[in-house]
Amino acid sequence: MRVCVLSSGSRGNSVYIEGGDNAILIDNGLAFRELKSRLDTAGLDVAKIKATLVTHEHTDHIKGVGVMSRSTGSEVYCQNECYNAFKHKIGDFNYAGNNTNFECGFTAHGFDIKPFRTPHDAVYSVGYKVSFEGKSVVLATDLGTITPGVYNHLVGSDLTILESNHDVEMLKNGSYPMSLKARILGRNGHLSNEDMSCVIRDLALSGTDKFILAHLSEDNNQPDLAFNEADESLHKLGASRGDIDLVVANQYIPTKVFTI
């Protein structure tokens, strides 16, 4: 498998996952031209992309889904309530995921796909575990807390893409209105650096050695704060820095391409 986070943050999210001759996206909050430009930058091919998995209906995750599907004929998968929440916003698209038992998982284009519920202020929000030929990547962004159900899906993957949205002190001392601060800090909001660092340590102990920190707030976080929080947490385990591949995803440029 090859994996690249093309864009991450409140201005647009998209993750590219390739297995064999096919690839899928998780979310697409990028204009089609911008998506192609980032794929080019990363040395990846838009023609391989056969489907987009949608996590939830917020604009930063769905803005580019319709154009992508119409331009390439690629499919779109999401749970039905999620579909109903955004279908009128992005024009026609090739919807393939009308599945009432969505969390049972499904197979598409050679990938085993296992959605799992995430606590977030959206109609029906999920993360995804995607497996191909015995390897797996799991994505959990846009969630206020790590529930036992989320944790069970995070454990044991080869690469974890995990939200590290804000530094709690920066958020508390920042200029956001109180109601928005409460929303972000709440159970259905976003994970802090601190939340992330607790989990990442347990995941490393369970064997995951590749991590991408994602969905950082531009106003309430800094890449080095998130990185250092994760790095310190991992270091306390006794992991040497060469043992773990840790990267912070960016809003404007793709990450390196991970091979797992």
Least distance to Zn ion from the beta carbon of 84, Å?
17
Query: Looking at beta carbons only, is 17 or 82 nearer to Zn ion?
Result: 82
Interface size with Zn ion, residues (CB under 5 A): 3
- Identify which range of 56-64, 80-88, 146-154, 200-208 contacts Zn ion by CB under 5 A: 56-64
Question: Is 129 one of the binding residues for Zn ion (CB under 5 A)?
Answer: no
Residues sharing a CB contact under 8 Å with residue 115, sequence separation 6 or more, in sequence order? 53, 79, 102, 103, 105, 126, 127, 128
Least distance to Zn ion from the beta carbon of 27, Å?
8
Is 159 in contact with 210 (CB distance < 8 Å)?
A: yes
**In Å, how far from its chain's centre is CA 140?**
5
Question: Is 58 one of the binding residues for Zn ion (CB under 5 A)?
Answer: yes
- Identify which range of 75-83, 134-142, 146-154, 162-170 contacts Zn ion by CB under 5 A: 134-142
Query: Looking at beta carbons only, is 22 or 250 nearer to Zn ion?
Result: 250
Least distance to Zn ion from the beta carbon of 169, Å?
22
- Bridging pattern class, strands 94-95 and 106-108: unpaired
- Encoded tokens for 130: 């995607």
- Identify which range of 78-86, 138-146, 205-213, 242-250 contacts Zn ion by CB under 5 A: 138-146
Q: Which amino acid is at 196?
A: M
Least distance to Zn ion from the beta carbon of 224, Å?
22
Least distance to Zn ion from the beta carbon of 116, Å?
16
At what angle are helices 193-205 and 223-236 packed, to 10 degrees? 40
Q: Which of 60, 163, 167, 229 binds Zn ion (CB under 5 A)?
A: 60
Q: Which amino acid is at 12?
A: G
C-alpha dist (Å) from residue 149 to 118, 155, 209, 220, 228: 8, 10, 21, 27, 27
Question: Is 142 one of the binding residues for Zn ion (CB under 5 A)?
Answer: yes
- Identify which range of 39-47, 54-62, 147-155, 161-169 contacts Zn ion by CB under 5 A: 54-62
- Encoded tokens for 251: 């809003």
Alpha helices in 3-108 (DSSP H): 32-42, 59-62, 65-72, 80-86
Q: Which residues bind Zn ion (CB under 5 A)?
A: 58, 60, 142
